[in-house]
A and B are shown apart, each in its own frame.
Chain A
Amino acid sequence: MVSTVVGAPVERREGLEKVTGSARYAAEHAPPRRVWAWPVPATVARGTVTAVDTAAAMEQPGVLTVLTHRNAPRLAEPDDATLAVLQNPRVPHRGWFVALVVAETLEDARAGAAAVQVSYEPEEHDVSLTMTHPGAYVPEEANGGYPAATEQGDPERAFASSAVQVDADYRVPPLHNHPMEPHASTAQWDGDRLLVHTSSQGSTAVQTVLAGLFRLPEDGVTVVAEHVGGGFGSKGTPRPDVVLAAMAARQTGRPVTLALPRRHMPAVVGHRAPTLHRVRLGAEPDGRLTSLIHEVTTHTSRIKEFTEQAAVPARTMYAAAHLRTVHRVAPLDVPSPSWMRAPGEAPGMYALESAMDELACALGMDPVELRIVNEPETEPHSGKPFSSRHLVECLREGARRFDWAHRAPRTAGPLRIGTGVAAAMYPVLVQPSTASAGACPDGTFLVRINATDIGTGSRTVLAQIAADALGVPLERVRTEVGRSDLPSASLAGGSSGTASWGWAVHEACTRLTARLATHTGPLPPDGLDAHADTAGQADADSPWARHAFGAHFAEVAVDTVTGEVRARRLLGVFAAGHILNARTARSQFVGGMTMGLGMALTEGSTMDAAFGDFTQSDLASYHVPAHADVPDIEVHWIDEDDPHLNPMGSKGIGEIGIVGTAAAIGNAVHHATGTRYRELPLTPDRVRRGAGF
């Protein structure tokens, strides 16, 4: 009997390659005769390109061609309008690419791009979101396919007649994903066959999209995403870089690399849209909610409807008989928003969990107890039973470890110190995938699946799943991931990767085990293999409400001299099914909480009303936390035995860490200062203005 390796803190298989620099990323694939491309962003917020003068650019040394809407290859119309690059002269927002320079070197391409003269017919633009924006409407669906509006009971009346009320507005600014590796693609054509190395969270999706755009059979396109330096949602589907690289390679007949400069990213890779929240909570004096109303207003671009689903968590969290959630979206002349780690949940739970803290204060009740008394028996919105829900256990375990019972705001010199709590949740998402498992004559096993390792350790955890399913030692299992010519699989997004891919891998390995059990004699030279496809299983409707839950506890110090807030302690407890790799899971939770810390204290982008772009366009001005901002982060989990998920019994863990962190920190700032802040991030100017010190 082989001992189980699922759950063990196995080290990442590609760790050595990464820390020694031998792991190659998309822009580092250098086929012979490879050239470089550099885009030209629009400098008006709305309008039409009237002329592109490329003469000066073409005279620059090394410049091979300049693609514009006039000469670029025609693409089939994409489902995602942000990919219709250089197809027409419209400028939907500042930073939209209006030309692409291809040159022998990166520097030549950049200089060429600077020399391109673009003329515009500009139009009046509007990039300013307000809660009462006249252009805002309730869409049919919010992101994720959720209904944009839900209503149960009579929430307005129940709120009006409730004994204790909270009615508060919260604001979350635009946020940027800014993965460490910018979006990059290297494309090369061999006749009508296209090979692309790209930085993507899912190369099967890139393959499908490119085949459609360039009118090729899917097997005429190979997409490789071997190593990916993060994405946080911004690489979930193809972005313009890969389309432009393929266009430029086709036009020039040379392999082309396009690595987006950091400053171009905010305009073209998606961002977390700003959300304006109004939350109303009505409660009985004992804390039980009678009414919960969460209304969200957000923006989208003129070319794509993307509605950050920030009111959706309120449909699951608490038992309130009267419940209303609604999203409104205003199309503005802004870059297209998209997914960013826990889209919807991250900003939505900031608002809801801040409001719960306000309610606890209004009731004079412990905020942990307030959440516990509002624990629902079934999912409030759907009425479905929970497949597993251990929010109360997470709160209690976290409170015990954090010594919550002895919390009291205190003063230490100029510092005010306080603590806060917030709940976390993230839905269980899972998608069909295919995988193969092979037994080789040399005694090793090969698992093949087009999973993507965006830095989380997918190769490693899939090998663990396979080893257990095959009943063999981990060292005998090899995994191949990150190529579209492997069995197709879903993308690394929605915290669904491991569940989706692992399911297919488990199934393939189980079938292989069965084949091997009936096989006699030595294996044939090609070995034996088995294939699995989880379509129809993984995407089957579940009668269960399936979500991961968690609890965050934070201690902060507020400096009364500067208004600076620094986190002193963060502690998270999560209930997310079986944890499949204790080491990489911890990294995911810690990383999510760190990103939540940034959302709370340092990260925020400003839409420049006059120019229509994001002001913070580099990592010097867009403040992701530095090491000095990040305290010791403690992570624990409660192992759940949930038979309604997948063969591994796992829930996704990539995003829940960011959900609720900002509320816990904001609630701690209130505890420390007595001032309630309702706009993120909690920077010194805001804190000082609110607290009056």
Chain B
Amino acid sequence: MKAFDYVRATSVEEACAALAARPGARFLGGGTNLVDLMKLGVEQPVALVDVGRLPLDAVEELPDGSLRVGAMDRNSDLAAHPAVRDRYPALSQALLAGASGQLRNAATTGGNLLQRTRCPYFQDVSKPCNKRVPGSGCGARDGVHHDHAVLGTSDHCIATHPSDMAVALAALDAKVELYGPGGAREVAAAEFHRLPGDHPEQDTEIRPGELITGVVLPAATGGLPSLYRKARDRASYAFALASVAAMLQVTDGVVERAGIAFGALAHRPWRARVAEEALVGAAPTAAAFERAVDLELSAARPLRDNAYKVPLARSLALDVLTRLAEPART
């Protein structure tokens, strides 16, 4: 077999040093995606630096009222955490909508963000894929692309990001904490994943050698009404056909703050800034929601077999926004 080294890190610094010392190494979290990709030959790391037992599994309240989630917190634990359920319900719902119970027990917060697309061409080393082998072409564009992206695609890649959790984080203004050779830094969750452009091989803004250490949910969105809704081909253990996470703050009959993100429509969770701008300052009416969502989705460029995603995403968004606005209306 293709041999690889295995290193178990006991601190963040040690993990980053171990990675830096071994070009071609990968961090290993829950392994629910990386190990599959190794079996498929998509990933061939020379070493795995196991960060799964780093002391990064705490969920802690910070002095400013925000909630810090450790990168190694398991998806099932995070979904069940009382503070998450109470203050960021969309995140809990998104986590529970993902994968299966067994996978959620193993998958980590950081690993969830870094999971790769499930595009079948990406996963099959006998086929072209610009994400896997830059310049080899895209099998999906003219091939089977029923599940592929309709927003923000490029000629090189139409893959979607598969995470449910990341969609909620994007809508909730979460931040991703990173640690690496350049020290610690933060990136907005909504900006953490990239659009494919000319470099679909780069999924995220993470820099070489950096490790996700945590995710911070800001105080400002804590306690706001939020929801996650996902449409899928079976009731469990299926990736989204389309999904939406939304939070809505309505004060005196006017939308004061909105956070909306779509899943399964793009190479990253699609933060619907256009729709949000259209809503802020408006009354939370059905007409306003329709106008805002339609404005956002007018950027969609569906292909032969994935046009259904646009009206489906619209329907999900309108349903969620309407339900979020209901308590405020009465």
Chain A residues within CB distance 8 Å of chain B: 41, 43, 61-62, 105, 107-108, 110-111, 114, 414, 561-564, 566, 601-602, 606, 608-611, 615-617, 620-621, 623, 625-629, 681, 683-685, 688-689, 693
Contact = CB atoms under 8 A, between A and B. Distances in A.
B319 A685 contact: no
Interface stretch (B232-240, B245-253, B277-285): B232-240
Contact of A563 (B39, B231, B319): B231
Given A564-B232, A610-B142, A620 B2 contact: no
Given A110-B1, A111-B1, A621-B118, A688 B311 contact: yes
Given A611-B127, A688-B311, A629 B234 contact: yes
Contacts of A615: 120, 144
Contact of A626 (B231, B234, B308, B315): B234
Given A561-B315, A562-B315, A563-B312, A610 B234 contact: no
Interface string B294-330: 0000000000000010011001100100000000000
B41 interface: yes
Interface residues of B, number: 34
B312 A627 contact: no
B235 A689 contact: no
Given A626-B237, A628-B236, A688-B315, 18 more contacts: A561-B229, A562-B229, A562-B315, A564-B232, A564-B235, A606-B146, A608-B144, A610-B143, A611-B139, A611-B143, A617-B124, A623-B233, A628-B235, A684-B233, A684-B241, A685-B146, A688-B308, A688-B312
Contacts of A608: 143-144
A610 B144 CA distance: 9
Contacts of A617: 120, 124
B1 A107 contact: yes
A629 B144 contact: no
B187 to A, nearest CB: 29
Contacts of B236: 626-629
13 contacts: A111-B1, A111-B2, A561-B229, A564-B235, A611-B139, A620-B237, A623-B234, A626-B234, A628-B235, A628-B236, A683-B233, A684-B241, A684-B308
Q: Which 9 A-B pairs have the closest CB atoms?
A: A107-B1, A628-B235, A685-B308, A562-B231, A628-B236, A626-B236, A43-B126, A615-B144, A111-B1
B11 interface: no
B100 interface: yes
Nearest to A60: B1
Contacts of B234: 601-602, 623, 625-626, 628-629
A611 B142 CA distance: 11
A562 B316 contact: yes
Contact of A685 (B41, B126, B139, B312): B312
Contacts of B127: 611
Contacts of A625: 234
A563 B231 CA distance: 8
A606 B144 contact: yes
B22 to A, nearest CB: 20
Interface centre among A105, A564, A566 (most CB of B within 10 A): A564
A626 B236 CA distance: 6
Contacts of B124: 617
Nearest to B235: A628
Contacts of B39: 110
Contacts of B312: 562-563, 684-685, 688
B100 A414 contact: no
A561 B146 contact: no
Contacts of A561: 229, 231, 315-316, 319
A107 B1 CA distance: 5
Contacts of B316: 561-562
B233 A602 contact: yes
Contacts of B315: 561-562, 688, 693
A114 B235 contact: no
Nearest to B3: A61
Nearest to A109: B1
A253 B32 CA distance: 37
Contacts of B100: 626
B263 to A, nearest CB: 13
Contacts of B308: 684-685, 688-689
A649 B113 CA distance: 59
A107 B44 CA distance: 13
Interface in B109-126: 118, 120, 124-126
B119 to A, nearest CB: 10
A625 B2 CA distance: 35
Interface centre among A43, A609, A620 (most CB of B within 10 A): A620
A625 B237 CA distance: 9
Contacts of A621: 118, 120
A546 B161 CA distance: 54
A285 to B, nearest CB: 40
Contacts of B3: 61
A626 B120 contact: no
Nearest to A42: B126
A432 B61 CA distance: 73
B319 A414 contact: yes
Contact of A629 (B146, B235, B311): B235
A601 B139 CA distance: 27
Interface in B93-151: 100, 118, 120, 124-127, 139, 142-144, 146
A684 B143 contact: no
Contacts of B120: 615-617, 621
